[in-house]
A and B are shown apart, each in its own frame.
Chain A
């Protein structure tokens, strides 16, 4: 149905002309703006990046086709390969720490909240606070807290007799990446907590009652009934962690450590590498084509992860009708 009014021969006397059926323009009107903006500012740039990565820049500003030349450079040229593999490795460590610390912690908190203790609402609300804050702010706050200059961390550890443990973690090559990862865990644990909590809430009470009638204890109900039912959510949490790992962590590292991933590239990740490659830094001049190559590599790495998730994980995690 449209508002288009056409001249039709009227056989019944009616006060006004009749609207006709059949126009489909409204579908285009509804879809066009979203499709347009999304295509121009999200899909096109992605494809353009892939294209740029296949060219090499000349001094006069023109570009020449190199095929996979940039990728070969990135993966095998000594100057590039070291940085690339290091950054990728660091990203994987970051992901690993999130998987073993953030997600189990989120699961624990969600499980406890789902027992509906008193103040559950308040706990939930407050634990989610860090997630709302800008990564930049979180980064600075922790930098100050961990700073030997201020000494808050030192004082607090000292108060419980653990003063000897303290080290300027963010500044040490051996611990910087772990420290940054844990800060990120601190900030984002609210998200897995919420997702898992919601999944736990959606398990019908009757099912839990049935398990209780079957004689299962609270702990057994958790492992044998609840956990299998929320596995799909845990799968989603894992893939979100994986994707976020390549994007969101840039902000944190950039604001705490800067763009070089100090000390000595120990916190350098794909995001900082891409930023540096693209815009240049100190001695290095920016290179659009290598930047696009790094971005494209990230794209493929994410694609691999998502594919593994979709093919290997998600299909096996049956979604139960609840």
Chain B
């Protein structure tokens, strides 16, 4: 019946402030892109740039935290149960099967999450980060020997990365509602605690449900 702390204070702070910043960056970024006009271009650029610096700062802290706590290991891909998790999202969730993976503070991400977040952290974010910084310092690029890099390439890369982020977020937000109840997976990221007894109590029930199918 004991609750286990799976998301530490910094982790939760990092997650939610990153989420807020990324939503804000998406909103201002696509105004800079010309998709709509709400704040006005000048204002959008300024706020986008400020938020980008905040996000970069946050990432620097997060990277530091991951390495000093060893938490980075949570993102090492594992094969074990990967198939089972994919099968669960494709089939099991319709038949009422239980999630094959159980969060612990040592392994808080299921194998699919590990891959997804690794993709986010090693591909999408760096792509946004690097292209964003190149965009920001476009007029100084000649000082680092990149004077011939066309702005168009930088902008298109940044835009493509923003789309990848958008797509990731849609999937991520949807899957976050796929727990027992729509909020049961989100709660731990707010409180930090995974209510263990719920899972334990639920497990036998699911067995029963699985048999008829």
A and B assemble together: no
B residues bordering A, Cβ < 8 Å? none
